[in-house]
Amino acid sequence: MALAGDDQPQTRGSRLEAFQRVVLLTVVAELLVHRVLSPGSTFEQGAAAAAPVVLSDVLLTLGFSLCLLLGFFPGSARPAGILAAVLAAFAALWYLPATANHSFLMVLCLFFAAAVDRDEPAEQDLALQALRWCWVIVFFTSGVQKLVYGLYFRGELLTYMIAHEDTFANLFGALIPVDELTRIRALAETGGPYLSEWSPLALMSNMVWIFEIVAPVFLLLKPSRSVAAVLTLLFVAAIEFGARELFFGVMAVNLTLLFFRGDWIRRLLPAYFLAFALLILVAAGVLWPGFEFF
């Protein structure tokens, strides 16, 4: 645990508090966007994904919203966080099999942020170490998973995504030669094989799993932590331009920000509230009707 130790103890309490608020804000926004305001439009799989909004969706949204609000009152942050962790665990089980993978990460993050005594420096250190290790483990195992599955060696999965997903085609359209992009997009009609004839695409594909395995090691080492954190943010941004997994992306960004010196999450908190407010208004059809952000 000490490898993920903190080098700015004076801000550890405020960082934990701000991190908890961002996670709760993310949960509330995701419930509103995917469950309450636009049910059936979610990318999640399973029977619940296309189900109409039900009372449980509304109650869970209200419950998490209450936890978020109580977290701003002195002395209420920890009880609100514990209640939120319990609600998150319940929601993750309730929505099975349509539960998104990052929902389980949210449960762990809320638990680690809320289970400690905010007045005890040693417990604050332990919570920050646990949160950092959560991201290191998730990041590293994601790379190992890609390595084991073997669909990145020749760019098979990336070619498939470019063929079938407009977001990936648009992202790589400026890089891939026009003839090769046209050929890959046509593969969606033929069923493959999903292999690229442009060798740099295979190189980029392999760099994904290599980075996911190597970067966590440098995040744990203090001399390289800042550089690794910046590169990880850029990596997450690049992935999200194609994958559009917005709520996982927010979790990934904030877990990475815990490796930076300085209370960055707290500084960015107003921007998060503004961004999610706009997102919710778009999902409700108040702003830019028909605009798709996933």
Tally: H helices and E strands in the chain: 12, 0
163, two tokens: 């063929």
- 254 in helix, strand or coil? helix
For residue 284, which amino acid is it?
A
- Is the Cα dihedral 277, 281, 284, 289 positive or negative? negative
Nearest to 173 by CA among 152, 198, 150: 198
> 265, 113 in Cβ contact below 8 A?
no
pLDDT tens by residue, the chain, 294 residues: 666 676 666 677 788 889 999 999 999 999 988 888 765 443 333 334 444 557 788 899 999 999 999 988 878 888 888 999 999 999 998 888 888 888 899 999 998 888 887 778 888 888 888 999 999 999 999 999 999 988 889 889 999 999 988 888 888 887 888 888 999 999 988 877 888 888 899 999 999 999 999 999 999 998 899 999 999 999 999 888 777 788 889 999 999 999 988 889 999 999 999 999 998 888 877 777 666 655
CA 273, CA 275: separation in Å to the nearest integer? 6
Q: How far is CA 288 from CA 243, 246, 291, in A?
A: 21, 18, 6
CA 165, CA 222: separation in Å to the nearest integer? 39
For residue 138, which amino acid is it?
V
What angle (nearest 5°) sits at the alpha carbon of residue 263, between those of residues 260 and 265?
A: 90
Segment holding 8, helix H or strand E: none
Q: Domains of the chain: which residue ranges?
A: 11-119+263-294, 133-261
